[in-house]
Amino acid sequence: MDNTDDARRAAGEQLASLITHNSGLQKLNLENCSLGEAGLAPIFEALPRSSTLKELVYYVAPNETSSPVFGCDVIFAAVRANCGLRTSRFGHFWPPEAQALVAARTQPDGGAIVAA
């Protein structure tokens, strides 16, 4: 990790602490924060421990990239473990599977699959 990644990780750790210790936090908007994977990792690691966060927004800066492995192993795993998240907007960082999972939670049946 370079200094930029260290700073991003430190910012992400502070936000992760907010997510896990603030029982009133319902929406977290991280637009234009340029956290990258280094900063987002601690946030998503904290997400399963939040019972109040309902909305998470993060749009990736044009110069940022994300690996499919990060999307699957970190983002999707955290979203799957946090049943309270109801709205998410993440631009191209967001795996389609995670978006579908969050969208299903807003359906009247909670996204349940009904057998024929």
Q: Which fold would CATH assign to domain 3-104?
A: 3.80.10
Q: What is the pLDDT of residues 59-115, one digit of tens each?
A: 766 677 777 788 778 888 888 888 888 887 776 666 777 778 877 877 766 445 444
Cα(53)–Cα(23) distance, integer angstroms: 8
Q: What is the pLDDT of residues 11-45, one digit of tens each?
A: 999 999 999 999 899 999 988 788 889 999 999 99
- Three-class secondary structure assignment of the chain: CCHHHHHHHHHHHHHHHHHHHCCCCCEEECCCCCCHHHHHHHHHHHHHHCCCCCEEECCCCCCCCCCHHHHHHHHHHHHHHCCCCCEEECHHHCCHHHHHHHHHCCCCCCCCCCCC
